Amino acid sequence: MAKTKSLFTCLFVCLYSLNVCSKRSKRFRISEVPCPTAINDPKVTEQFEIKQDIQKKRQNKDLIELQALIDSHFEARRKEEEELVALKERIEKRRAERAEQQRIRAEKEKERQARLAEEKARREEEDAKRKAEDDLKKKKALSSMGASYSSYLAKADQKRGKKQTARETKKKVLAERRKPLNIDHLNEDKLRDKAKELWDWLYQLQTEKYDFTEQIKRKKYEVSGKAIFLMIPAPKY
151 or 8: which leads in pLDDT: 151
Distance, CA of 176 to CA of 127 (rounded, Å): 40
In-domain check, residue 68: yes
**Per-residue pLDDT for 18 more than 60?**
no
Pick from 63, 94, 125: which residue ends a domain? Answer: 94
Are 206 and 154 within 8 A, CB to CB?
Answer: no
Provide the number of structural domains found in the chain: 2
Residue 78 lies in a domain: yes
Q: Given this model, what pLDDT does residue 195 score? A: 83
In a domain, 177, yes or no: no
pLDDT tens column, 81-109: 999 999 999 999 999 999 999 999 999 99
Instruction: Tell me if 76 is assigned to some domain.
Output: yes
Domain assignment of residue 60, yes or no: yes
* pLDDT reading at 172 higher than 80: no
Look at residue 152 and tell me if it is in a domain: no
Neighbours of 73 (CB within 10 A): 16
pLDDT in tens, 30-39: 444 444 444 5
pLDDT given for residue 116 in this prediction: 92
Cβ within 8 Å of residue 191, ≥6 positions away: 135, 138, 139, 142, 183
Please say which residue of 46, 74, 94 terminates a domain: 94
The average pLDDT across 53-75 equals: 87
| CA dist., res. 205 & res. 39, Å (int) | 158
Cβ proximity of 188 and 136 under 8 Å = no
Name every residue whose Cβ is closer than 8 Å to that of residue 33 and which is 6 or more positions away in sequence: 48
pLDDT of residue 190: 79
Which structural domain, as residue segments, surrounds residue 77?
2-94
Residue 46 has pLDDT above 90, yes or no: no
User: What Rg value do the Cα atoms of the chain yield, rounded?
Assistant: 63
Does residue 210 sit within a domain?
yes
What's the whole-number average pLDDT of the chain?
74
Judge whether 134 lies within some domain: no
Helix (H) or strand (E) holding 142: helix 42-160
Confidence of residue 177 (pLDDT cuts 50, 70, 90): low
pTM for this prediction: 0.32
Measured from the Cβ of residue 41, the count of other Cβ atoms closer than 10 Å reads 13
> What sign has the CA pseudo-torsion 44, 46, 47, 51?
positive
Amino acid, res. 109: E
pLDDT at 56 over 70: yes
Identify the domain boundary among 94, 112, 132: 94
